[in-house]
Amino acid sequence: MRRASVPEAAVNEDGDPCASKDKIGFSSHVRQRSLMQPKSQSKTVKRRPEGSFRRCVACALPRHTTASGWSRVQRPLGHRLLGWRAMPDESKRIAEALATAGGELNSIAAHLEALQGEPVTPEDWLLVRADLGRRLSRFHRAAERVDRVLGTTGAQSRILQYLRLNIGRTVTKDELSGVGGISEWARRVRELRVEHGWPIQSGVTRDDLRVGEYLLEADEPNADLARDWRVAKDIRSMTVEGRRASGKTRLLEYLKAVYPRSADKEQLGYVAHPMQERPRRLRELAEEGWQIVSNLDDPDLAPGQYRLDSLQQLPARAREAIKLRYEILERDDYACVDCGRSPKHGDTARLQIHHLQFVQHGGDNNTSNLVTLCTECHAGRHSVTVGATRDELLQPESVT
Ligand SMILES: [Zn+2]
Ligand SMILES: [Zn+2]
């Protein structure tokens, strides 16, 4: 109401170019000091220290300050509603911190320069390294002072902001350690992915990225990813009859929980922690009749990625066939016996077990009658189109 009663002229008399900007939002770190100040529109501002200034949050320019530091301000209404960014010495504090930080780096450079042209002893060098440590920690303390003024204090939010500035672009761990802090960045990146579902890929999750490279894929958290990680957290501490469930049980429960999607290497490692020999346990699960699919069966999966093909455990007879299948695959080194292609070597080949003497001609499941073929060669052996064949141990009923 009060707002409406103020004549436009009163605002513009002040010559304030920002009078109309009262709708502009301001970032959360800006103190909304004005909201707590007395209501009168005209107000004498208290004495302020020499050299300080006030800043309008709408135009961000220092305003209404007299040379003496005294100021009698006729405040435009818009500004009062928005709030004054009345942070004396803000720029001064940043400038001081930057000067300190720069000074430390210069000292390091000077120290290194002084060593040049002289024989350097191990003692000299250790002194340089110790000096470097002292000065870098002062540098970081100065950087933290800038963070406090700018409101960029939390390593996690700094890293997220930086990744969002670089969506779809690879950033390196060196950049992230600069932004987040040397001892913090890895944990913070993990939290962003695991706890908040930000789709940050790395060399661990994507083949086209190297170790130490990171990439934010989209500018919003992925709900599925966030949920998968929440589930992973629960299953990791899962108990059976009062005792922590075995690693194998946890793996199975996790694959069931994310079904029909796949779980990646990192998630499975987290769930089964500290279990070693994860591939062997997964294979045991497969031999127990759980239809576990890996990149050896599905070229769309990355190495280390697994998914369940069904929530149903196969009956005992089928389990024997799966055991036998692994035996044949291993004997043939996971490669097609005709052309030698193998998903083990990054090939997209899909392998199937074939009966040399066809089943309909009396062929049996003796290992000597079974071979590994890729789908192309398998189709050739049966003279059918590619894709028409089946793995004859996994799906014996539909032998081509
Ligand atoms: Zn082949
Ligand atoms: Zn066949």
pLDDT in tens, 42-79: 444 444 444 444 444 444 434 444 343 333 333 443 33
Ligand nearest to the CA of 338: 1
354 CA → ligand 2 middle, Å: 4
Dist. CA 292 → ligand 2 center (Å):
22
Architecture of the CATH domain 314-400:
Orthogonal Bundle (1.10)
CA of 389 to the centre of ligand 2 (A): 7
CB atoms within 5 A of ion ligand 2 belong to: 354
CA of 335 to the centre of ligand 2 (A): 15
Question: What pLDDT is recorded for position 397?
Answer: 64
Q: Give me ligand 1 centre to Cα 277, in Å.
A: 30
Nearest bound ligand to the CA of residue 339: 1
Pairwise CA distance, residues 299 & 392, whole Å: 19
Residues of the chain by 3-state class (helix, strand, coil), percent to 5: 45, 10, 45
Domain limits of the chain?
2-87, 91-150, 155-221, 223-292+303-311, 314-400
Residue 88's pLDDT band (boundaries 50, 70, 90)? low
Distance (Å) from CA 353 to ligand 2 centroid: 7
Tell me the CA–centroid distance for residue 196 and ligand 2, in Å.
Answer: 47
Ligand 1 centroid, distance to 379 Cα (angstroms): 9
> Which ligand has the nearest atom to the CA of 341?
1
Contact 307, 348 (CB under 8 A): no
pLDDT higher than threshold 90 for residue 194:
no
CA distances from 308 to 50, 258, 262, 297, 395 (A): 71, 9, 7, 12, 16
Of 14-23, 53-62, 374-383, the range with the lowest mean pLDDT is 14-23
Of residues 246 and 6, the one with the higher pLDDT is 246
Ligand 1 center–CA 337 separation, angstroms: 7
pTM for the structure as a whole = 0.57
